[in-house]
Amino acid sequence: MIFDRVHRIGPKGNRRTRPIVAKFHRYNDRETLIQDDLKIDTQTMIFDRVHRIGPKGNRRTRPIVAKFHRYNDRETVRQKSFDTEIKAEMTKRNIGVGVQWPQQIREARKALYPLAKEAESRKDKTRMVGNKLYINNELRHKYVNENVINISQ
């Protein structure tokens, strides 16, 4: 799971990422993302890995990748991030929570995104599942071998 645009908490120079995502330690009485922002108890959550990705630099905050030991914990966090009140607060603070997709799926979704937006502008219901785009619950486009295939009705 990826947590995007999460700024460092705690004393300057502290490089520990795990406390930012889950509340294992509390630095300077500041909030942590899962426990305080998403309002999920992290007492029983186990993380295999938590780290930032990308090159260090002053340009932007690097995303945090968290590998949950249990799939249900990941899904709890993901679903809670869609809650209306929580989503509004995270949007206001410019924080993103999402699933980390493989490169092939990211390329497919990038190619299908303009088609989805075009359909949404026509007030059609769209849904992307992996490398497929459904419009009004019908499979319309598929991304295969770096090409978008239009599936006729």
What are the structure tokens assigned to 1, written together?
């799971």
Q: Kindly report the pTM of this predicted structure.
A: 0.66
pLDDT digits (tens, 9 = 90+) for 103-129: 999 999 999 999 999 999 999 999 999
Q: Is the pLDDT of residue 36 over 60?
A: yes
Task: Choose among 66, 31, 33: nearest CA to 48.
Answer: 66
Question: Using only C-alpha atoms, what is the Rg of the chain?
Answer: 18
Domain boundaries, the chain: 2-98, 103-150
Are the C-beta atoms of 122 and 115 separated by less than 8 Å? Answer: no
Residue 11 CA to chain centroid, in angstroms?
26
> Which pLDDT score is estimated for 72?
93
- The mean pLDDT value of the chain amounts to 80
> Which pLDDT score is estimated for 116?
94
Are the C-beta atoms of 33 and 23 separated by less than 8 Å? Answer: no
29 vs 71 pLDDT, higher one: 71
